Chains A and B, each alone.
Chain A
Amino acid sequence: MSAMATPVSAPPARVIMYREALNEALREEMIRDARVFLIGGGIAQRGGSYKVTVGLLDQFGPKRVIDAPISESSFTGMGVGAAITGMRPVVEILFVDFTSLIMDQIVNQAAKYRFMSGGKGRVPLVLRTQGGSGGSLAAQHSQSLEAWFYHVPGLKLVMPSTPYDAKGLLKTAIRDDDPVIFIEHKLLYMEKGPVPEQEYTIDFGVGAIRRPGKDVTIVAWSGMVGRALAAAAKLAEQGIDAEVIDPRTLVPLDKEMILASVRKTERLVIVQEAVRRGGVASDIASLVQQEAFDYLDAPIAIVAGKNTPIPFNAHLERAAVPQEGDIIAAAKRCLYLS
């Protein structure tokens, strides 16, 4: 079941920014469900560092749009408590880098509560955060840490790459009865894309084929989707027809879409901005070699961030994360063209 970014049957959509799409999702869900509230640093009066929560304080008031002190561990834990007892908190942590401060509440508390309570307790909490490099924000504001959450049973993990997905997936996340980690990308907030006027949600576990192709499969998510598409366009000029797949949610993962593509192209490149070691790409590679080994005509290529903290200097920063050229080179290696 392949889902394109925008359903073919949809009427013409407006073009809005990723951050506006997120804002709409929050607004609509807060109207729809009085249990939904937002808590985080600088999200109410200031409307968030990336302007995602602009206007929500005015519309919903300070009881539901809460500016918290810099007490991340505790306000996340308060989100867990509120969720267990009937609310639907959307907790915002400004940078995924700062989730290190709240890991106990997410990993030991939110993720396990449903299981430990024998299924009687649920934690319908969304953790909205933002990651990735670009902009010389240096080592503590530029990481890609999705593997931390991917690793922990009990969490869902969403990483939208387009305004359309950002809105539809955030609405689904808020309606989900279990904890969802929702990681945005700092370079995408101003990106524009079509978003329909009418309401929609996007199911978790359904990837999107961003570009159909037959020669090589490129899997990428979040900020790397755009780079993979740019690489695919260059490859096309050289007669190589790449298929670009965006899983959109890493947990649950649309394994079938990736496997179907690999069975067709027989070559796979996985692109992640995160460091190579212990990353999601390695896990996807292991799934594919296990289930589609006979189809592969070349070793699976992983294009990943270097195993380093992100440097401040812009040249070094670029050298630390995958660039278009790295993706092109990997695809050609899979085709034995380099």
Chain B
Amino acid sequence: MYTPSFLEQLYRTLYTIRVFETRCIQLYRQGLIVGYFHPYLGEEAIASGACAALRDDDYIISTHRGHGHCIARGGVGANDYSPLRKMVAEVLGREDGYCHGRGGSMHIADVTRGNIGANGIVGGGIPIGTGAALGIRIRGSDQVVAVFFSDGAANNGVFPESLNMAAIWDLPVVFVLENNQYAVASPIEEMTRVPDLYERGLAYGVPSSAVDGNDVLAVYQKMQEAVATCRQGKGPVLIEAKTYRHGGHHVNDPGLYMPKDRLEHYKARDPVGIGRKYLLEQGQQTEEALRSIEQEVDRQMEEAIAFATDSPHPSAEEFLEEVQRS
């Protein structure tokens, strides 16, 4: 089945996203992070599983809830936690961040790693990712694009339009619909008659199915099949990953409208816990080995915070000079 090192890498990604979000929320409360901050807590398995099925030369495009995608795609590995440092520096608005403090949480991008970027416009990334796939088809390569978006974005016109064009032109794009069942506070049942959103893909002749978005291996398998389909020129594919946020829409939303029993149900199916169990059981790792991975990530996160808080604010003079030249 899966090698222990593969399962370990999956778990490291899951756990890194969890720690990143948890610590950043604390930094937010301390006033070190400002503006909008949308945690990916509870949805870690989708980015971790999906990105693990991609090659280095593939692309992803993300959303306002994008930290998980950026970390998973950034490829935080046993020897390289520099993506984590650049993430923290960017959400703190510092010079050493991914975007030199100009983008912030909602606009993290790293084109050099095939991460086209997060987006502050709901649905904004869907056609852009589809366009990256159009380019791939014109170039004749076998790269693939993963377009991440959520249920709210699925109700924007860009989704059906992009889905249809991807379908008629057989584009190598995997639409990864993270159905966390809310758009801010709007519950999915009130925003559509058909909450099984993958069914929309079927109407466009696109292979579409749902997967447990809290199960990292289930997501990985689904994604692997989808990616293989796309590489054979038989894309697009739509995957609806069912999941649930562990809290409100953003750090300042207590999410009181989320029914307690539903929240508890999903928290009991915690994606990080599930990934941990895979590594213990299928990966046959000891509790001790897992704890040492966790301690390493914890330590790297503290180093990333130190790195970011030491990083200077971008220079206003340089910024104004840039503006002058533009």
List 24 A-B residue pairs with CB atoms under 8 Å apart, sorted by A's residue number: A42-B184, A45-B186, A69-B155, A69-B191, A71-B156, A72-B156, A101-B121, A135-B35, A136-B93, A137-B36, A140-B107, A140-B119, A141-B106, A308-B319, A311-B102, A312-B35, A312-B93, A312-B107, A313-B94, A313-B102, A314-B93, A315-B313, A316-B101, A320-B323
Asked whether A241 is an interface residue with its Cβ less than 8 Å from the other chain, the reply is no
Main secondary structure of the interface of A (DSSP, over half): loop
Known A-B contacts A306-B323, A308-B326, A311-B101; the reply to A316 vs B314 at CB < 8 A is yes
B190 near A67 with CB under 8 A, answer: yes
B122: nearest chain-A partner, CB-CB: A70
B155 near A70 with CB under 8 A, answer: yes
User: Which one of B36, B105, B191, B323 contacts A308 once the chains associate, using CB atoms below 8 Å?
Assistant: B323
Q: Which residues of B contact A319 (CB under 8 A)?
A: 316, 319-320
Known A-B contacts A311-B319, A319-B320; the reply to A138 vs B186 at CB < 8 A is no
Q: How far is the CB of B246 from chain A (nearest CB, A)?
A: 20
> What is the size, in residues, of chain A's interface with B at 8 Å between Cβ atoms?
34
Q: How far is the CB of A90 from chain B (nearest CB, A)?
A: 19
- Closest 5 interchain pairs by CB? A312-B104, A140-B120, A69-B155, A136-B35, A313-B93
User: Which one of A45, A101, A141, A316 contacts B316 once the chains associate, using CB atoms below 8 Å?
Assistant: A316
Q: How far is the CA of A144 from the CA of B183 in the complex (A)?
A: 26
A71 near B186 with CB under 8 A, answer: no
Q: Which residues of A contact B105 (CB under 8 A)?
A: 138, 312
B313 near A70 with CB under 8 A, answer: no
User: Which one of A41, A138, A308, A315 contacts B107 once the chains associate, using CB atoms below 8 Å?
Assistant: A138
Main secondary structure of the interface of B (DSSP, over half): loop
Q: Which residues of A contact B103 (CB under 8 A)?
A: 138-139, 312
Binary A-proximity of B178-217 (CB < 8 A = 1, otherwise 0) = 0000011110001110000000000000000000000000
CB-contacts of B138-160 with A (<8 A): 152-153, 155-157
Q: Which residues of A contact B319 (CB under 8 A)?
A: 308, 311, 316, 319-320
A137: nearest chain-B partner, CB-CB: B35
B156 near A70 with CB under 8 A, answer: yes
Q: How far is the CB of B292 from chain A (nearest CB, A)?
A: 36
Question: How big is the B interface, by class?
Answer: 35 or more
Q: How far is the CA of A39 from the CA of B103 in the complex (A)?
A: 31
User: Which one of A67, A101, A313 contacts B313 once the chains associate, using CB atoms below 8 Å?
Assistant: A313
A46 near B326 with CB under 8 A, answer: no
Among A74, A306, A309, A312, find the residue whose CB has the most chain B CB atoms closer than 10 A. Answer: A312
Q: How far is the CB of B215 from chain A (nearest CB, A)?
A: 27
Q: Besides the contacts A138-B120, A141-B36, A316-B101, what 10 more A-B pairs have beta carbons closer than 8 Å?
A: A70-B156, A71-B155, A71-B157, A138-B106, A306-B320, A308-B322, A311-B319, A312-B102, A313-B94, A316-B102
A309: nearest chain-B partner, CB-CB: B102
Q: How far is the CB of A56 from chain B (nearest CB, A)?
A: 16
Known A-B contacts A313-B102, A315-B313; the reply to A139 vs B120 at CB < 8 A is yes
Q: Which residues of B contact A308 (CB under 8 A)?
A: 319, 322-323, 326
Q: How far is the CB of B150 from chain A (nearest CB, A)?
A: 10
